[in-house]
Every structure is written in C-alpha cells, then in structure tokens.
Amino acid sequence: MQGKYLIVGLGNPGKEYRLTRHNVGFMVIDHLIHKFKIPECNKKDYSLFQYPDDLFYFIKPMTYMNLSGEAVSVFLETHDFLPENIIVFHDDKDIEFGRIKTKIGGGCAGHNGVQDLVDHIGNGFVRIRIGINNQRTRDGKQLRDYVLEDFDQRELRVVDELIPFAEDFIYNISEYGFSKAQGILHTGK
C-alpha cells in the first residue's frame, strides 16, 4: 500500500443527471460505495465516503461539473494527499465508447470539470478517462447536448461492464503504483 488515496468522480448532482454520459465518474463512485457499503458524509460542496481503513476517500463534487475543482480544493484544505494519489474518474469525448485510458497530467481536451480541477489543485493527479464517443448515438448532436443525454440501455450495459476495471485499477495503483497499474489495465496482465 502506497499511502492514502482520494478517489474523485466527476459529474452533476441531481437525479435528472444520474444516467448521463457526463456522470460516468459519479457512476464509478456510486458503484464502489454501494459494493463496499461505505456510509456517506454530506458536506456543502461534496459528498464524502470514507473507507473504514482511512486509506481511501471517495468524493462526488456537488458543485456541478464545471466547478468540480472548487469542491475538491475545499476538501484538500483539511486533508493532505500527494498529487499522484488523487485519482479522478471522468468522461472523455475523444475516446471511443467502451474504452478506458489513463494518464497523469496533460491537457484537458476541452473538459471544463477537469480544467477546473487543474485550476484549483494543479495538474499532477491521475486521470481515468472513460470513453463516451459513440458515433451511433452522437451523429449531428452538439457536444453539450450529447454529454447531458442519458446513456441508452445498450450503452449502460457496457458501462456496467467497465466499472469493475475501474475498481481493479484503484486496487492496482494502491498496491503497485501508477505505471504498473496502467500496464495491467491496458494489457490485462
């Protein structure tokens, strides 16, 4: 185990956004807290879920996607994490639907929630980018409308199949570090 980890899922609060493409980060956090039966501690700016061993903290910013950095920075005022131990799950419009890619730092590719995180906490955090680019459902739609549209039933099944990979990545990064965890995710070994 390489320290304590802050796991952030980006999304928008409210049931009207629950199944939208932009909320795939929230979906990952929801799956993990449900699976491990982690109790919720609601704050003004974020929902906090703390795994009993105090090594994993899970946050869903309640400030809406484009202000996610504000909520995370409020939490970090009273908690200290190494940048590489902050793991952020978010949608990525440039990655093929059903794929996951990881990286540390880099550009934000027009993702306002990620940009707000960079603006508030810096650029050294781990990004788990979940692809939402599906030409079958995207054709002719503006990006804003597309990301705020619900996944269809077929897409939801694929998302449900991806979430265990996200869970495994969290375990692997805490055990082996980012590079090895990234290799395991992309090669299955």
Count CA atoms within 13 Å of residue 88 on its CB side.
30
| Amino acid code (one letter) for 29 | I
Task: Write the burial class of residue 74 (CB in 10 Å: 0-12 exposed, 13-18 middle, 19+ buried).
Answer: middle
Q: 22, 79, 111, 120: which is the annotated catalytic residue? A: 22
Task: Write the burial class of residue 67 (CB in 10 Å: 0-12 exposed, 13-18 middle, 19+ buried).
Answer: middle
90 has catalytic annotation? no
* Helix, strand or coil, per DSSP, at residue 189: coil
Annotated active-site positions, please? 22
